[in-house]
Amino acid sequence: MIVGLIVACEAGFWVLLAAGLAVRYLLGRRRLGAALLLAEPLLEVVLFAVTAVDLRNGAEPGWEHGLAALYIGFTVAYGHSTVRWLDGHAAHRLGGAPRPPKPPRYGLARARHEGRLWLRTLLASAVALALLQAAIWYVGGGAGTDPLRAWQTTVLRILVIHGLIALTYLVFPKKGPKTPEAVPRAASPEGEPPAEESPAEASPAGEGTGSLSARRPAPTARHRSPCSPSGRE
């Protein structure tokens, strides 16, 4: 029964989430949509109450009770951020809002992002461990609570593994793609940029206006001197 209720709570979470976003952005009923989104924590309350009643009625603590505690813990820690993330994308696609920024992928910014995720896992683990310990005290301890204690060990193992993964992004930060650097222009020996050639200097000799023949002055007519022999009569 507990396993079926966990599946029903997970399905109800997504149904309420989809209904709340549709009512909020497709129908324009923002208050009603927000009410549907805020009703999601009631699912965890129902699961917690049914699990407690099941143990009170004499049910032997089993792995399903530990799974319920773990599910409640992670829903408490990650449920709100999941709703906010999906609400931002729905507002962008259906409401014309700006596109939500993507999480960082490189460097220390990515390490801080992974650290914040680990803090959420820490919160989820704390809630799950508290519920498991409360269940152990509730049934009176003894050998019958071994499955619950095993779940406590599992929760601690999840917390440590996630912490080590998050730490790798700090110790070995992921580097972003390298951008090509601009090649500097070659400079003259004096450190000044090379002068551009004029069109006259660039054109080959004998062609165009820049040839030597074009720059040579035209010959002028020679005037006869009155004293020259040809000037005598």
Q: How many other C-beta atoms lie within 10 A of the C-beta of residue 151?
A: 24
Answer yes or no: is 20 within a domain. yes
Locate tokens 């049910």: which residue? Answer: 59
Answer yes or no: is 116 within a domain. yes
Residue-level pLDDT at 78 = 94
Distance from C-alpha of 125 to C-alpha of 201, rounded to nearest angstrom: 80
Q: What is the pLDDT of residues 36-52, one digit of tens each?
A: 888 888 998 999 989 88
Answer yes or no: is 230 within a domain. no
User: SS3 letters for 97-122?
Assistant: CCCCCCCCCCHHHHHHHHHHHHHHHH
Instruction: Say how many domains are in the chain.
Output: 1
Taking phi over 0 as left and psi of -120 to 50 as alpha, with beta for the rest, 118 belongs to alpha
Contact 116, 159 (CB under 8 A): no
Q: How many other C-beta atoms lie within 10 A of the C-beta of residue 143?
A: 5
Q: In the structure, what pLDDT confidence band is assigned to residue 203 with cuts at 50, 70 and 90?
A: very low
Q: In the structure, what pLDDT confidence band is assigned to residue 194 with cuts at 50, 70 and 90?
A: low
Q: What is the pLDDT of residues 48-76, one digit of tens each?
A: 989 888 888 878 888 889 999 999 999 99
Q: At what angle do helices 41-56 and 63-95 cross, to 10 degrees?
A: 170
Q: Which domain holds residue 146?
A: 2-171
Which tokens sit at 28? 């324009």
Cα first-last separation, the chain: 146
Answer yes or no: is 96 within a domain. yes
Answer yes or no: is 190 within a domain. no
Answer yes or no: is 184 within a domain. no
Answer yes or no: is 21 within a domain. yes
Cα angle, residue 154 at apex, residues 45 and 2 outer, rounded to 5°: 35
Answer yes or no: is 205 within a domain. no
